[in-house]
Structure 1
Amino acid sequence: MSLDAHERLIIETRVGNDGPSVMLAYFLWFFVGILSAHRFYLGKPVSAILQILSYVILVGFIWLLVDAFLIPGMVRAKQEKIRRDLTLDAISNGRSLPAMQMA
């Protein structure tokens, strides 16, 4: 069972509105990366806490630099999870996606 174009458009709009922002993730990484704020923002609290704890042995600083390259992939993964959840919800609820409210 697949969704029609209108339903896919609604889902993509919701992903764009509800999903994380690459720019905000980089902003958090740059200004409060020492607190792993970008990982908390992207829904990765366990690795955020591990990263904070690893600063004690200097590994965390290297990990923080590696995150600069991992942020786009983490954002895409979070967006894909939202997309998958919305698609499954739309299919299981008989294709009744809620109408988008324009702000």
Structure 2
Amino acid sequence: MTLSTEQLMLVEQRLSNEKKSIGIVYLLWLLFGALGIHRFYLGKTRSALGMLVLTILGGFTLAVSIGAFISIGAFFLIALAVWLLVDAFLIPGMIKADAQAKRLTIANEIHNMTSPKFF
């Protein structure tokens, strides 16, 4: 598929309107990271649900066994903290991958709209 210069400009214009903001993602990560909200925003629903479940299980099991020296909830929350730290470095790549997928989708849409139809 080859697009003209005008079509490529249209793709980039639409992409700039639709792509995710790195500032918003980092704000969501900072404020609601333990709930996986930044991953929901990026469309990574399964891993976002994983973070949410890890937070709920960690908080619940930590609260239930608060008298114990070490509880399973602490391990859940430590794993979540490591995951959040790793996410801080993965966010730019996730945004770039999302933008690339959108760029391809938009380019296909424009190509299909402008290509001649033979019946």
TM above 0.5: yes
Conserved in 2, the CA contact under 8 Å of 1:28 and 1:38? yes
The 4+ residue runs of structure 1 with deviation greater than 6 A are: none
Alignment partner, residue 47 of structure 2: 47
Superposition pairs of residues 12-91 of structure 1, within 5 angstroms: 12-55=12-55, 56=58, 57=76, 58-91=78-111
Alignment partner, residue 99 of structure 1: none
Note the residue ranges of structure 1 that are not aligned, 5 or more in a row: 96-103
Alignment partner, residue 10 of structure 2: 10
| Count of residues paired in the alignment | 96
Structure 1 position 93, deviation (Å): 2.1
Note the residue ranges of structure 2 that are not aligned, 5 or more in a row: 59-75
Structure number with bigger Rg? 2
User: In 2, Cα distance between the equivalents of 1:46 and 1:5?
Assistant: 38
User: In 2, Cα distance between the equivalents of 1:10 and 1:90?
Assistant: 8
User: In 2, Cα distance between the equivalents of 1:10 and 1:28?
Assistant: 30
Note the alpha carbon deviations across 1:18-50, whole angstroms, 9 max, x for none: 110111100110111111111000000110011
Alignment partner, residue 92 of structure 1: 112
User: In 1, Cα distance between the equivalents of 2:51 and 2:35?
Assistant: 9
Using structure 1 for the length normalisation, give the TM-score: 0.85
RMSD over equivalenced CA pairs, Å: 1.6
Q: Give the AA of the match of 1:42.
A: L
